Amino acid sequence: GAGVSQSPRYKVAKRGQDVALRCDPISGHVSLFWYQQALGQGPEFLTYFQNEAQLDKSGLPSDRFFAERPEGSVSTLKIQRTQQEDSAVYLCASSQTRTYNEQFFGPGTRLTVL
Amino acid sequence: SQQGEEDPQALSIQEGENATMNCSYKTSINNLQWYRQNSGRGLVHLILIRSNEREKHSGRLRVTLDTSKKSSSLLITASRAADTASYFCATVTEYGNKLVFGAGTILRVKS
């Protein structure tokens, strides 16, 4: 079946621009996660949704970062007034149940801020 | 910030040899997972070991967990060129759902 998909795969933004990154999780998956992966590092947690509820946003680095999942399926990560330090790969993952299980990752969106 | 550390940072072996990667973490966990990331591809789940388990096998993979030392190891036996990738351990705490990743080990298998 279809896996997690993300779009766009690559995004180049000028500093100060707003960007929106989309994630389509596996159908029926309850949990959805966003991670940020800097070059040469492991992914770092940004935020977590259980259905449409955002239960944990402790990893969002600033109030310029905002995520939503209004109907409990597709999610969007929005970054306002992008800065060079926002350049990274943004990974989305989904999980079938509420807790503790393996996560299925999308291919990521590589964001480059010039 | 990352949960812990993995070593080695990079490992280069010949096809057919075994590869061992180690992971240490800092807090109590519900489970520990290993993921593989190929160049240009997303993360792929390899194996999950729960805090009450000490060893687990899946095909050519063997994972051990020592909760007293807060450490885990991943053994890949009879390595293949296709195993070339970055390998990450990730922990899930007892109180949360998020994965907390280490910095990863870059494995290169030469044919």
How far from chain centre, in Å, is Cα B41? Answer: 17
Number of domains within chain A: 1
For A16-67, write each residue's pLDDT tens digit. 999 999 999 999 999 999 999 999 899 999 999 999 999 999 999 999 999 9
Q: Which of B34, B97, B105, B106 to mutate to test the interface with A (most CBs of A within 10 A)?
A: B97
Number of domains within chain B: 1
User: Do B101 and A93 lie within an 8 Å CB cutoff?
Assistant: no
Is A114 inside a domain boundary? no
Is A111 inside a domain boundary? no
Residue B4: the pLDDT is 65
Is A108 inside a domain boundary? no
Is A60 inside a domain boundary? yes
Average pLDDT, integer, range B77-104: 92
pLDDT bracket for residue B7 (50, 70, 90): confident
Rounded to whole angstroms, the Cα distance separating B69 from A101 reads: 23
Tell me the residue range of the domain where A55 lies: 5-102
Q: Shortest Cα distance from B78 to chain A (angstroms)?
A: 25
Comparing CA positions, the residue from A15, A23, A45 lying closest to residue A94 is A23
With a cut of 60, say whether residue B2 has pLDDT above it: no
Q: Which chain A residues contact residue B2 at CB under 8 A?
A: 41-42, 44
For B18-75, write each residue's pLDDT tens digit. 999 999 999 899 999 999 999 767 899 999 999 999 999 999 999 999 999 999 999 9
Maximum Cα–Cα distance across chain B:
43
Is A17 inside a domain boundary? yes
Please count the other Cβ atoms lying within 10 Å of the Cβ belonging to residue B2: 18
For A68-84, write each residue's pLDDT tens digit. 999 999 999 999 999 99
Q: Shortest Cα distance from A29 to chain B (angstroms)?
A: 14
Instruction: Taking the CA atoms of A36, A37, A43 and A44 in sequence, report the sign of the dihedral they define.
Output: negative
Nearest CA in chain B to A58: B98
User: Which backbone phi and psi does A73 adopt, to 5 degrees?
Assistant: -125, -95
Tell me the residue range of the domain where B37 lies: 5-110
Residue B84: the pLDDT is 96
For B8-19, write each residue's pLDDT tens digit. 999 999 999 999
Nearest CA in chain B to A46: B98
- Angle among Cα B4, B6, B7 to the nearest 5 degrees reads 145
User: Which backbone phi and psi does B81 adopt, to 5 degrees?
Assistant: -55, -35
Residue A97: the pLDDT is 79
With a cut of 90, say whether residue A103 has pLDDT above it: yes
Is A26 inside a domain boundary? yes
Residue A91: the pLDDT is 97
Q: Shortest Cα distance from A37 to chain B (angstroms)?
A: 10
CATH number of the CATH domain containing B72: 2.60.40.10
CATH number of the CATH domain containing A71: 2.60.40.10
- Angle among Cα A62, A68, A70 to the nearest 5 degrees reads 160
CB B47 within 8 A of CB B53: no
Q: Which chain B residues contact residue A55 at CB under 8 A?
A: 97
Q: Which chain A residues contact residue B1 at CB under 8 A?
A: 44
Interface A–B counts its CB contacts (< 8 A) at: 62
For A53-68, write each residue's pLDDT tens digit. 999 999 999 999 999 9
With a cut of 80, say whether residue A1 has pLDDT above it: no
Rounded to whole angstroms, the Cα distance separating B21 from B86 reads: 11
Burial of A40 (0-12, 13-18, 19+ CB in 10 A): exposed
